Structure 1
Amino acid sequence: MRVRILLVVFAMSVVGPAGVVAQNARSTSDTVEVAQSRRTAITRAVQAVSPSVVTINVEETKRVRDPRFDAYDDAYVRYFLRQSPYREERVQGTGSGFIVSPDGYVVTNEHVIGAADEIEVLFPDGRSMPATRVGSDEATDLAVLKVDPKEALPYVEFDTTSSPIVGEWVIAFGNPFGLFEASQPSVSVGVVSATGRDLRAESDGRLYRDMIQTDAAVNQGNSGGPLVNAEGKVIGVNTAIYSESGGSIGLGFAVPAKRAARIVSEIRDRGAVDRSYYTGLATVSVTPRIARALNLKRSGGVLVHDFDFGSPAAAAGLQIYDVITEIEGTPIETREDYIARIYDFRPGDTLRMRVLRDGEPREIQLTIGRRE
């Protein structure tokens, strides 16, 4: 037995180098295969988009309540103290954004920059630049900034030729909670959970309509960052989350690229979005009670209950008691839907409307005018 063991050991030592070479060859092959398998469409998209994602720091002066007055907020006390219960305070905030042109145009959310006095853009390579406000649109919560680089910057473009697919992989970029200044952006991966989401809560004049819903983690500080598909194309701007804790629970919402691209282009060209549209219509949502009064089969849509003579509505041939049910193929269920849809168009645009008149469907074309 002892001899046999020695022979075995000896034999192993003799054939060892060849065996090691073969084993190393297999190991190297496996390593290359694993390395290649790690590089997926997601990692390639992250590598391509990351250099164009930035952090945005802002400072603004806000009028805040002095906490000393909380205990004795009394008019006589304020009179004798000759002091206001409010004071001005410098407030700092942070958000995300992304570069959309080599000469330094940056897209973010309107609520990120707010009424900021100072805006600073931090780049993944550690550089920082002051930024100026080109313009913003409160309704869609989008804003455009401008920095002045000495050389061309890496940038991304909006995907306006395709629509998000429910269930496809998406990547959310940004700087959650402003934790990582001047560093590579954080990424989170999820899917498109739904499209065409309307957030019913309207605040500060914003209309969050037709949003992309995703379960990719979007937290405070991610606002203004891009939502990207597996091809590395920007399909939306991360804008809002639903959360009771302030952190991500898998309900994030992004402004779709087609809408964002148009708003951004208009802001770059004019510095603002033209909201001077005029139709001359006065409308109200068709409730079940109104539907019964009009002998309609169902509620939904908006009822024309008045219009200005000589207005675009009159020129289009709309009549009182017409019910608008579609605009450009989009169903209209409430007056809020109607307003949100009109917001997408500008003076001079012609809308295709589907209306019910005496219960019969009709096609109406209305050319939007300009409010003086």
Structure 2
Amino acid sequence: MIDPARLRLMWMTGISVMFIFAQALAAAARGAPESFADLAESISPAVVNITTTTTVAGRTGPQGIVPEGSPFEDFFREFQDRGGQGDRPRRSSALGSGFVISEDGFVVTNNHVIEGADEILIEFFGGQELPAEVIGTDPKTDIALLKVEADQALPFVNFGDSDTARVGDWVMAMGNPLGQGFSVSAGIVSARNRALSGTYDDYIQTDAAINRGNSGGPLFNMDGQVIGVNTAILSPNGGSIGIGFSMASNVVTKVVDQLKEYGETRRGWLGVRIQDVTDDVAEAMGLESASGALVTDVPEGPAMESGMEAGDVIVKFDGRDVTDTRSLVRQVGNTTVGKSVLVVVNRDGKTQTLKVTLGRREEAEGAVPASQPLDDMVEEPAEVEILGLTIAPMNDELREQLELPSSAEGLVVSDVDEMSEAYEKGLRAGDVITEAGQQKVTEIAALEEQIEAAREAGRKSLLLLVRRAGDPRFVAIGLDE
């Protein structure tokens, strides 16, 4: 007969073995490394600390202490001068991180780490310090390329393919957090394709600890390849809470290559203003899905020369589908300046293919798009309330009030019903409606015709092209039953 105590021991031992086995299976499923030590040791020599020094103009008086003109002003100025805080320039230092990408001394970091710096000093893992010069910067992706001159070949790391990184993959960050120097943290890829505020944003989100001073440091995959440049954190207190962002390497490598070759970026430029296709805009235009990039304006440039028009929906660019405005901007920006590409647009329910030779975005930025003159109109004096809008035909008096050029045409919104859908969608007094149903409107009768045509076609909304201070956008307004 089996002893009950022995039976209980066997049962508990069995459970323990099963629990340990389950833990081993879970660890294997996660692909968790036993240690990051070998990886950290192999890549550490290529990671650097960056110290920048900037000259800051001294204060000219005791600002913030006493009001200007106070009888105590001279007293506090003398006190500041005695303490060395007069109007003499001061030196300010800042810390960051970076990594070497070639044996001849090219170093990648964040633009904000070195922006405005008078001196840049690179500290290597072995303790060596070298001054660096700026080869080029790209504020749009917050990337900077530096160069140091060394007597021997420098250890370096290679970029990996960030597109192969999957959510849940292990990653390791290394840098100079809070000035501690050469600190390693590990975590996983939390999310992909994050956008913060930049046009070309493509961030990898990670829970690997990233703090101030980590900026510009590398994010490694388990093969020791750089798949991201640590750039920003989301935090209510300035410290890591497990939400960090690294600019994807496939963005960084294109920028670095251009900075190395030209000292600046050279991005493709299509020459259009665009907005996303929303569900109501798609319905108003009779589109099958709310995808693509809706062209709101075509100033003088490559797109105009190809025959592109406002109201076109760009659905393909250079053989790749366009899902929204962000994807189009990134595709165009990553395309070589001067390249001729095929652009497929949806126009009046049919697709057309246009051939566009791209310009250079950096040369086009800052240029004011030319407004296109519209047909002459017959003035109509009366105001009419339509779709929650009080509108009137354009005339010289309204042009003067709105500070519009003499060529400006359309229907001027003088008032908007605050309970209407038009108000909810952002229309305001002073807006100018230049198109309805993708047809130019200069008379109230023309707008009424487009409303009726949309109803007869069974559409629930009408697409309006609205300009405010010259900036165009499409708005779909629901039609009253």
Partner of 2:286: 295
Q: How does 1:276-295 map to 2 (within 5 A)?
A: 277-287=268-278, 290-295=281-286
* Residues 162 and 321 of structure 1, relative CA distance in 2, 3 Å threshold: closer
Deviations along 1:302-347, one digit per CA (max 9) or x if unpaired, are 32233246x421444423311124546364434x554444333341
Q: Which residue among 328, 335, 347 is the counterpart of 1:345?
A: 335
* Residues 145 and 340 of structure 1, relative CA distance in 2, 3 Å threshold: same
Task: Name the aligned partner's letter for residue 259 of structure 2.
Answer: I
* Residues 98 and 352 of structure 1, relative CA distance in 2, 3 Å threshold: farther
Deviates more, 1:315-324 or 1:266-275: 315-324
Instruction: Say if 2:298 and 2:304, in contact at 8 Å, map to a contact too.
Output: yes
Q: Which residue among 165, 189, 192 is the counterpart of 2:189?
A: 192
Q: Give the Cα separation in 1 of the matches to 2:306 and 2:35.
A: 50
Tell me the SS of whatever aligns to 1:69. Answer: coil
Q: Give the Cα separation in 1 of the matches to 2:96 and 2:304.
A: 46
Partner of 2:211: 219
TM-aligned CA deviation for residue 43 of structure 1: 2.8
* Residues 220 and 362 of structure 1, relative CA distance in 2, 3 Å threshold: farther
Q: Give the Cα separation in 1 of the matches to 2:315 and 2:102.
A: 39
Tell me the SS of whatever aligns to 2:44. Answer: helix
Q: Give the Cα separation in 2 of the matches to 1:169 and 1:89.
A: 43
Task: Name the aligned partner's letter for residue 141 of structure 2.
Answer: T
Check if 1:54 corresponds to 2:48.
Answer: yes
Partner of 2:177: 176
* Residues 211 and 104 of structure 1, relative CA distance in 2, 3 Å threshold: same
Instruction: Say if 2:270 and 2:332, in contact at 8 Å, map to a contact too.
Output: no
Check if 1:235 corresponds to 2:227.
Answer: yes
Q: Give the Cα separation in 2 of the matches to 1:136 and 1:60.
A: 17
Tell me the SS of whatever aligns to 1:97. Answer: strand
TM-aligned CA deviation for residue 103 of structure 1: 1.0
Q: How does 1:1-372 map to 2 (within 5 A)?
A: 40=34, 42-63=36-57, 68-72=62-66, 74=68, 88-160=89-161, 163-180=164-181, 185-199=182-196, 202=197, 206-207=198-199, 209-275=201-267, 277-287=268-278, 290-296=281-287, 299=290, 301-308=292-299, 311-325=301-315, 327=317, 329=320, 331-334=322-325, 338-351=328-341, 353-361=343-351, 364-370=354-360, 371=363
Task: Name the aligned partner's letter for residue 264 of structure 2.
Answer: A
TM-aligned CA deviation for residue 67 of structure 1: 8.7
Instruction: Say if 1:304 and 1:324, in contact at 8 Å, map to a contact too.
Output: yes
Q: Give the Cα separation in 2 of the matches to 1:350 and 1:214.
A: 38
Instruction: Say if 1:280 and 1:307, in contact at 8 Å, map to a contact too.
Output: yes
* Residues 227 and 161 of structure 1, relative CA distance in 2, 3 Å threshold: closer
Q: Give the Cα separation in 1 of the matches to 2:309 and 2:324.
A: 19
Deviates more, 1:94-103 or 1:42-51: 42-51
Instruction: Say if 1:190 and 1:214, in contact at 8 Å, map to a contact too.
Output: yes
* Residues 67 and 192 of structure 1, relative CA distance in 2, 3 Å threshold: farther
TM-aligned CA deviation for residue 178 of structure 1: 1.2
Deviations along 1:19-62, one digit per CA (max 9) or x if unpaired, are xxxxxxxxxxxxxxxxxxx9857333222111100000001123
Deviations along 1:232-284, one digit per CA (max 9) or x if unpaired, are 11111111111111111111111111111111111111111124x44232334
Q: TM-score, normalised by structure 2?
A: 0.59
Partner of 1:13: none
Deviations along 1:112-149, one digit per CA (max 9) or x if unpaired, are 00110000000111111111111111101000111111
Tell me the SS of whatever aligns to 1:213. Answer: strand
Q: Root-mean-square deviation (CA), in Å?
A: 3.2
Q: Give the Cα separation in 1 of the matches to 2:88 and 2:345.
A: 54
Tell me the SS of whatever aligns to 2:286. Answer: coil
| Unpaired runs of at least 5, structure 2 | 1-31, 78-85, 365-481
TM-aligned CA deviation for residue 191 of structure 1: 0.9
Instruction: Say if 1:241 and 1:253, in contact at 8 Å, map to a contact too.
Output: yes
TM-aligned CA deviation for residue 93 of structure 1: 0.4
TM-aligned CA deviation for residue 174 of structure 1: 0.6
Greater Cα radius of gyration, structure 1 or 2: 2
Q: Give the Cα separation in 2 of the matches to 1:331 and 1:73.
A: 58
* Residues 218 and 361 of structure 1, relative CA distance in 2, 3 Å threshold: farther
Tell me the SS of whatever aligns to 1:272. Answer: coil
| Unpaired runs of at least 5, structure 1 | 1-37
Q: Give the Cα separation in 1 of the matches to 2:262 and 2:286.
A: 47
Instruction: Say if 2:162 and 2:228, in contact at 8 Å, map to a contact too.
Output: no
